[in-house]
Structure 1
Amino acid sequence: MRANRRRVAAITAAVLAATLTAAPPATAEEPITDPIPEEPIAAEFGLVLEQHAQLPATEATPPATDPRLIRHNRINHIGELPDGSGRQYVPDLNGPLYLLEDGRQHLYLDFRERFEHFFSGKGMGSGFGFVAFHPDFAANGKFYTVHSEGREAIATRPPTYPNQPDAVVQSVVTEWTAQDPAADTFTGTQREIFRYGFSTHIHAVQQIDFNPTARPGDPDYGLLYLGVGDGGIGLDTDIPQDLSTPAGKLLRIDPAGGNGPGGRYGIPADNPFAGRPGALGEIYAVGMRDPHRFSWDPEDRRMFLGHIGQHAIEAVYEVRAGDNFGWSRREGAFTFDPRTQCYLYPLPEDDADYGYTYPVAAYDHDPPPNWPCNSDSGHAVSGGQVYRGHDLPQLRGKYVFGDLVDGRVFYTETDRMRRGEPRAPLHELPLFDTTGRQLRMSDFVGDGRVDLRFGTDSQRNLYLLAKASGTIWKVTGTRPARASEVTDTVRRNLVAHYDFEHPFAADDSRELDTGSSRTLLSLINGGQDMRVPDGAFPGSNNALQTRQISPDAESNDDWKAGVWDDNGTLSAFNATDGATVMGWFKMTGENPAPDTTTPDPGDRYNAVGLAGLLTGNSTGHDVRALLELIEVDGQLRLVALGRRLDGGASQTFAARQDWRELLPAGQWVHLAATFDYTTGQMALYRNGAPLPGFYTDPGDPWQVDGTGTTASTPRGIKIGGSFPGNDRERNPCHCRMDSLMFLDTAADHRTIAEQYRRFTHR
C-alpha cells in the first residue's frame, strides 16, 4: 500500500500555484511514534458468516508477478441491481462482471474481451475496478464502469485532462446502455466519458458510485461520484491539493449532462468548485491519497469514506462538499513530513487556518517493533456499510468496516462519528461460521492476506468478500463473543504470546505476538506451511508444526520457530525477578530425532526442543528460561532449565515421571515451567497441576543473591529446536504447539491452574 517516492519536477510549479492554501512549514516538534494508542475494543458479540457464493478463478492481464495480485480471483464488491429483480453484481479486477441470481452466476460482461489494451497485471487497483448501475437502470439500461488500460492506450487515446508525467496506466470510465436491462448477459452500446493517466500503477480511480439515498428530484439524484487516487506521487508533490487536476480528489459528475470536457458529461452547478477559476468544477472534495471505498448511511444520508494511509493511519471520514482531508500535509489528524515517514507530528497551533477535515474514526498501523517501520506492515482500511436492516438488531446503527489486508472487522457507532468531536471508538468483531466456530477471516480464506471487501443489498444485509479465496459470505446472524483465552492475572505479565491464529498479513511466514512486546515470531524453514489446522483447546483453530525434515543427512532445514533480535523488544525480561514459559504441546512423530551430525544412523539427539527464552549475550543457544526434554544422567526427562546470569551456569529442575507418560503421542498436553531468580526456585506443571521433580545440581549455580537476572535484554526466543538464528540443526521436535506464553514473572500454582481451566472451559 506504500506509495512510491517519486520526484515530478515538471509539475511542481503548476501544483504549488494552484493549491488551496499555503503549505505549512515543516514541524520541529517531537515525532509521535504511536499516534493512536487506543486498541480496538473487543466487541461483546460477533458476526455469523454463511457462504453466499464463490466466483471462478481468474488471472491478471498480463500475468502478474506480484504475489499480492496472484489470488483465486480479484472480486472487490457486491451490490444489488436497482431494478427490483434481486440480482446482485460482482466485479472482478481481472476482467469479468458477474450477476448472481438465486445462487446462479452469469458472466455478464468481460473486459478482457471488450478492450484491446485492458490492463490488470500490475498495481493493486489496476483492472476492472468498479461498476455503478444508474438508479433508473430498469428503464434506461445504463451503468458505468472504470477499468485500466496500459501504455499502448496512453500513446493513442487522449485523456480528459492531461495525464500525470510519464504515465504508465490510464483509468477509463465508460457508460454502457443495455438493450435489455433484464438480460443475463450484456448486449448494447458503450461510450467513453472520462480518461486520465497516472505515473505509477497505484492509487488510480477506485470506486465509482451513485448516492443510493437520493430520490428523484433530489440534487444528488443520478450524479456519479468518482474516487480518484493521487497516482502514487502525492507523497512528494502537492498534487492532491492542486485544483487543476483530478488526482487525489473525489469527483462528482452528471453522466447525462454535456457542459464538461468534450460534452461527454455534465458538471453540477452546486459542486463546491464549479465556476472557480483554475479549478476543475468536477471536484467535490480534495486532499486524498487513496479514497478506496465510500458509502451512504440510508437513515441520515451521510457519506462515509475509507481512506488508505501511508505508513501510519487508516481513516474513515464523513464527507461533505468542499472538504480537504489534507494529504500529503496531513495523515489522519496529524502532521505528515515525507522526510520522516515512520513518524507523524502534532498539529501546528494555527491548524484551524488551513481548514482541513479530520477522521471520524481511525486506527494506526502499530507495526511490530522488530519490523522496519517504513515497510508495508499489512494494513489498509476497507470502507464499509452502515447497517440499517431489521434482522440483526445488535448491528443497527453501526458502521461495519475492516482492514482489507489482515481481515479484521470493526464497527463504530454512527452517532459517535461526528466531525469536530473525538474519534469514535473502534470495536473489533469476532467472526463465526454457521456451526458456531469462532474464526478469523484468515481462517475463512486459508491465507494470511485476506483482501477483504464489504457490500450490501436492498434489504441492507451485509456481505463480506475476499480475493484470497474468491468467496462471498452473507452476515446471517450474531453470536455472543467468547471469553478471552488469557486470564486477567496472566495478561498482566504476558510479554509474548503466540497462538498461531494471527499470521502477519505482510508476511505470513511470521506470527504476530498478542502479548505486550508485540515481537514478530519467524516460522523458520517451513514458513506458512507450519501453521496447521489443529487446536489444542475449544476455540483454537491452528497450531504450529515443528519437525525434522531430513533425518538421513546433515542439513539445516528443520522446521522450528524463533526470534533473533537485537532491537530490545523483549526488554521486559531485562533484570526480571522471574519468568514463566508455558503452552500446549503434542508429540506427532519420532522423538528424539535422528542425530544427523554423527556418522551412526542409530544415534539420536540428546534433547527435544520445546520453547525457551535466550540470554542477553546468547549466540543462539544459551537460555535464560527453557522448557525442554533433555537427557539427565542418561535418561531423557522433561525439564525446566534456567540461567540467572549471562555467561553464568545453569540449573535444571527435572520431572521424575517418564516423559512419554507426560507427553503421550498424539495428545495435547499443557506444560509450564517457572523460574524465580530471586530465590532459585523452579517448578514444572502439567495440565495445571505441579509435577514432582528434582534439581540436577545440588549447589547454587545461579549465585542467588535476592536480585533478578542480568540487566540485559534477551536476544530472542527459540521454539522447536535450537539456534533460531538458523545456522544449524539441533534437537528438532516432531510436535505441534499452541498458545505459547512467555511471562516476566514466576507464576504461582493458582495462576497456572486458572489459566489451564480458562483454556479448557471457555
Structure 2
Amino acid sequence: MAASPGARPRVLLPAAPLVVLALLLSALVARPGTAHAAAGPVTDPIPERPAASGIGLTVEEYASFPKTEPPPGPVTDPRLRRHARINYLGELPDRSGRKAVPDLNGKLYLVEDGGTPQVYLDVAAAFSPAFFASRGLGQGFGFVTFDPGFKRNGRFYTVHTELASATTAVPDFRQSAATVYHGIVTEWTADDPSADTFSGTRREILRIGFAGTIHGIQQIDFNPTAGPHDRDRGLLYLAVGDGGQGVRNTEPQNLSLPHGKILRIDPRGSDSANGRYGIPAGNPFTGRPGALGEIYAYGMRDPHRFSWDPGGSHRMYLGHIGQHAVESVYEVRAGDNLGWSEREGAFVFDKTATNPCEQILPLPEDDAKFGYTYPVAAYDHDPPADWNCTSDVGRAVVGGFVYRGRDLPALRGKYVFGDIVDGRLLFADTKDMRRGGKELAQLYDLMLYDASGKRVTLRDLAGNTRVDLHFGRDADGELYLLSKANGKVWKVTGTRKFASCDTGGSRLTHVMDGRNWAPVTPSKWRFPGREAVLAEAGVQRPGPRRPFEYAVLTAGPEYGDVRIDAEVRLDTPVEITNRDVIIVFGYQSDTRFSYVHLSSDNTVYPHNGIFVVDDADRVRVEDQWNGRTGAPPAVTDTGWHEVRVVRCASTGEIAVYADGSKRPLMTAVDTTLTSGRVGFGSFDNIGRLRGLEVSSP
C-alpha cells in the first residue's frame, strides 16, 4: 500500500542482508546494467542519486552579454529564445588574458577581467545568407578553439551550421537520409593576433551534411595537455553527433561515416579525401579498409563536451547526452566504441521497443565479447511517478573540467560538470572514475553562493527554470559558469563548507539523567544512567501531524547556532521498513519545533529527512527529497550510529552527518525557528540515545 504524506503504514518484509550507511555513502556505486536476473525492462537505471557534498561554490558575475536573436528566423522553438546563446568560455593561448565566448546566434566575443564583451568576429555575417541558427538547440555558431601557437601564427577554428537549401556547397560526408543542414569547420588566420577585432583570411576545412537539425558538430578543440613535442600537439578533435536520426539509427556504428563519432584530424595536413586537412597516422582506424581514418572513437548519440585532465595521466573525459534515461561521463581513448545505438550508458538499448519505458534492458551475460566502453560516472533522469515515457523529462549532461587550479582546493582532482537544463552542479573524484570497473564513481551535488554569501541556485542567478548551463575555464584552470537564459557568466571565486557557523565556546555533556529530560509521556521512557531509552512506542496525538513521542532536554539554554553529537539506536525489529528515531532541535513548544528523521526507508514523504512543525503538519525542507526518494536510509540495522546535526541560525543552514562521514547525509536551509531546545524521540518506534553533547557559542 502506497503511503501518503499523512499516513504512516507499517510494513513487514522478510529479513534481508543489512546495508550500512557507510556503504551507501562510499565513493563508488554499483555499475548499472550488470544484474542479469532481471529479464524485463529497467525502470530505474541508476537508483543511486548524487549525494550531498557539503561544498558550496562562491560565484561573482564576470560578464554580461548583449541580447541576440537567431538568424534568419522564424523561430518556433521557445528554447531558442534565449537572451544570448553563449555556450563556452576559453582563454586565448597568448597570455593576453583575453577570453573567447561564442554566441550560437553568430557573434564571437572577447572579454577581459572586469571588461565589457567586444565583438571580435561576426561569424553569422561572414557566412550570410547560408548561416542558419533558427532551428535546433545546437545550430548556429557552435564553438571556437585557438591553435596552441595562436600568438605566433594567428590561427583559430570555428564550427557553424548552414541550411543545405541555401548553399550550393557539397558536403564532404553526408548521412543516408536527405541532407537538411551542413556543419562546417573553418580555419581563420588573423593578420594581427594581438588585435581586438579580426582582420585576416579564412579557409574551409571540413563540411559534414546532417539529415536533422540536432546533434551536429558540438565541439572542436585541441588537447591543451599536449607538449611541444607530443604527437597530439596541433591535432584537432571534433565531437560529431548522430544528426538526431532517432533510436533506430545505426550510423554511429558505421565506420565509413563521421556521424556519432569523435574525429581527430591535422588541420595543417593535406592527405584527406578533400585535401584540406591531414589524417594522423596514429589514429586507430587509419589505413583500415572501409573505415574513415579520421575516427578517434565512435558509437555516440550526442557527444556534447569533452576536456582533458591537466594533471595525472591527462585523461580525456566526455559528457554524453542520453536518450530518455541515462546521462553519462566517459573516459575516452582511441578506438573506443561507446555503443550507441546498441547501448545507452551501461544498458542494452532496445531499438525495437515501441514504448520508451521499455527501451532500457540489462546487459547480457556475454556482453564482454562486444567490446563496448561504458561510463565512469552517470546519472539517470529520475522521472516523476506520473511520467508517461513519451515526453522528455528535461535532463541533459553538460561536460565540464577536472579542476587543477589554486582557488578551490576542495575541488582539486574532481571532475566538475552539471545538467544543462536545471543547472545542477555535480562532481566526481577522478580517483573513482575507473574504466572497465564494476562501479560507477559516486556523484556529489555542489551548492552555490552569490557574492553576498546568500545560498542560491543557477535558476535563481539565471532568472529562468531552464538555465542552459555551460562551463568555461581560464589559463589558470579556474572555472566559469555560463547561462543562455540571461547571457551572463559567473566566475567561481571560492568554496565554502555548508553550515560552517561557529558552534564552539560552550559544550553541554553528561545530561542523561532523567531529571534533565521532559518526555511527552514519562511512562514510556527509561533513563538508566548513560542512555535515554524510549521503551514503548508512542501514539498519534491531536493537533498537527508531528512525531508521536519525544523527550526535550531541559538542561542548558535554548540554542541558536548549535551542534548536536550523539549515538542513536533503533530497537524496533529491522523487518519493519519504516522504523525511525528523531533528533529534535529548535524546540519552542509541542507544535513548534524542527527535527531530523532518521529512518530505514527513504521512499515516502515522512521518512528520512529534515522537517519543521510550525503550528501545522510537519513540512519537509531538506534538499535531498526529489518527490520520490530522499537521502540514503540512515539507520538500517540495530547497531549504534553516530549522528551530528549542525544548525546555523543566521543562515538557516542545517547539515546532518552520520557515522563519522565528512560529507553530510542531509542538508537544508530553513529560518522558521531560529532558536530552541534539543531532544530525542520517534513516531511509533522504540530506540535509544547515548553520548549526547550539545555545543554552541
TM-score scaled to structure 1, two decimals? 0.63
1:686-738: CA deviations, max 9, x gaps? 9999xxxxxxxxxxxxxxxxxxxxxxxxxxxxxxxxxxxxxxxxxxxxxxxxx
Indicate how the Cα distance of structure 1 residues 403 and 540 shifts in structure 2: closer, same or farther if over 3 A, else same. farther
Q: Deviations over 1:517-536 (max 9, x none)?
A: 539xxxxxxxxxxxxxxxxx
Q: 1:362 aligns with which of 378, 394, 419?
A: 378
Asked whether 1:290 is paired with 2:302, we answer yes
Distance in 2 between the 1:63 and 1:90 partners? Answer: 25
**Cα offset for 1:102?**
3.3
Question: Given the alignment, which residue of 159, 178, 187 partners 2:199?
Answer: 187
Report deviation, 1:346: 0.9
Report the secondary structure of 1:342's partner residue: helix
The answer on whether the counterparts of 2:38 and 2:362 sit within 8 Å (CA) in structure 1 is: no
Q: Which amino acid aligns with 2:417?
A: F
CA contact 2:185–2:207 (8 Å) conserved in 1? yes
Match of 1:167 among 155, 176, 179: 179
Query: What does the per-residue CA deviation read over 1:455-500, in whole Å, with 9 as the maximum and x for residues that have no partner?
Result: 1111111111111111111111110123999843177688449x9x
Match of 2:99 among 79, 88, 93: 88
Could you tell me how far apart the structure 2 residues matched to 1:74 and 1:515 are? Answer: 32
Choose from 263, 277, 284 the match for 1:272.
284
C-alpha separation between the residues in 2 aligned to 1:355 and 1:493?
37
Note if contact 1:233-1:239 (Cα within 8 Å) is conserved in structure 2. Answer: no
Relative distance call for 1:514 and 1:152 in structure 2 (3 A) is same
Residue of 58, 61, 64 corresponding to 1:51: 61
Match among 357, 360, 378 for residue 342 of structure 1? 357
1:36 equivalent among 46, 58, 62: 46
Could you give the per-residue CA deviations for residues 214-253 of structure 1, whole angstroms, max 9, x where no partner exists?
0112110000000000001151121100011110000000
Preserved CA contact (<8 Å) 1:137 1:181: yes
Write the distance in 1 (CA, Å) between the matches of 2:270 and 2:602: 66
Moved more, 227-236 or 352-361: 227-236
- Inter-CA distance 151–162: structure 2 relative to 1 (3 Å threshold): closer
Amino acid at match of 1:457: D
Distance in 1 (CA, whole Å) between partners of 2:627 and 2:172 is 51
SS of 1:43's equivalent in the other structure is strand
Offset at residue 65 of structure 1 (A): 2.0
Q: Secondary structure at the match of 1:415?
A: helix
CA separation of 1:240 and 1:342: change in aligned 2, threshold 3 A: same
1:202/1:747 Cα in 2 relative to 1: closer, same or farther (>3 Å)? farther
Distance in 1 (alpha carbons) for counterparts of 2:650 and 2:162: 50
Per-residue CA deviations over 1:289-335 (Å, capped at 9, x if unaligned) read 00000000011211000000001110000010000000011000111
Which residue does 1:488 correspond to in 2?
596
Check if 1:149 corresponds to 2:257. no
Corresponding residue for residue 126 of structure 1: 139
Q: Cα offset for 1:139? A: 0.8
- 8 Å CA contact 1:234, 1:240 repeated in 2: no
Contact 1:495 1:516 in 2 (8 A): no
Q: Does 1:259 align with 2:276?
A: no
Which shows bigger deviation, 475-484 or 412-421?
A: 475-484
- Native 8 Å contact 2:131 2:162 kept in 1: yes
Map 1:553-702 → 2, pairs under 5 A: none
1:494 and 1:516 in contact (8 A); partners too: no
Tell me which of 82, 86, 97 is aligned to 1:75. Answer: 86
Report the counterpart of residue 575 of structure 2 in structure 1.
Answer: none
The counterpart of 1:479, out of the listed 479, 496, 502, is 496
| Structure 1 residue 395 displacement after superposition | 1.0
Q: Which has the higher contact order (CA 8 A, sep 6+)?
A: 2
State the SS of the aligned residue for 1:423: strand
Distance 1:512 1:127, change over 3 A: farther
Letter of the structure 1 residue corresponding to residue 330 of structure 2: Y
Tell me the residue number matched to 1:463: 480
Q: Look up the match of 1:176.
A: 188
Displacement after TM superposition at 1:58 (Å): 0.7
Residues 1:50 and 1:687: Cα distance change in structure 2 (over 3 Å): closer
Instruction: Provide the C-alpha distance between the structure 2 equivalents of 1:513 and 1:136, rounded to a whole number of angstroms.
Output: 46
Tell me if the contact between 2:174 and 2:210 (Cα under 8 Å) persists in the aligned partners.
no
Helix, strand or coil: the match of 1:412?
strand
Instruction: Show the counterpart of 2:342.
Output: 329
- Structure 1 unaligned blocks of 5 or more: 1-26, 500-510, 520-536, 542-582, 586-667, 671-685, 690-743, 749-756
CA separation in 2, counterparts of 1:296 and 1:229?
20
The separation in 1 between residues aligned to 2:47 and 2:307, in whole angstroms, is: 27
Query: What is the Cα deviation at residue 539 of structure 1?
Result: 5.3
1:301 paired residue number: 314
Counterpart of 2:691?
none
CA deviation map 1:132-158 (0-9, x unaligned)? 10000011110000001113245x110
Is 1:424 matched with 2:441? Answer: yes
Q: Cα distance, 1:112 vs. partner?
A: 2.0
1:447 aligns with 2:464: yes
Q: TM-score, normalised by structure 2?
A: 0.68
Cα distance in structure 2, aligned partners of 1:366 and 1:212: 35
Post-superposition shift, 1:165?
1.5
Q: Provide the rounded CA distance (Å) in 1 between the counterparts of 2:441 and 2:289.
A: 38
User: Against the structure 1 CA distance between its residues 493 and 280, is the aligned structure 2 distance closer, same or farther, given a 3 Å change threshold?
Assistant: closer
1:405 aligns with 421
SS in 1 for 2:293: coil
* 1:353-390 deviation digits (Å, cap 9, x = unpaired): 11000001111111111222231111100000011112
SS at match of 2:79: coil
Partners of 1:474 and 1:246 in 2: CA distance: 35
Contact 2:165 2:180 (8 Å CA) reproduced: no
Cα contact 1:493–1:745 (8 A) shared by 2: no
Q: Distance in 1 between matches of 2:652 and 2:294?
A: 51
1:712 aligned residue: none
Q: 1:102-123 CA distances to partner (integer Å, 9 max, x unpaired)?
A: 3222100112211121111110
Identity %: 57
SS of corresponding position for 1:145 = strand
Q: Which amino acid aligns with 1:115?
A: F
In 2, distance between residues paired with 1:489 and 1:102? 47
CA distance in 1, matches of 2:623, 2:333: 39
Q: Secondary structure of 2:597's partner?
A: helix
Partner of 1:249: 261
1:584 CA drift (Å) = 13
> How far has the Cα of 1:164 moved from its partner?
4.2
Cα displacement (A) at 1:420: 1.2
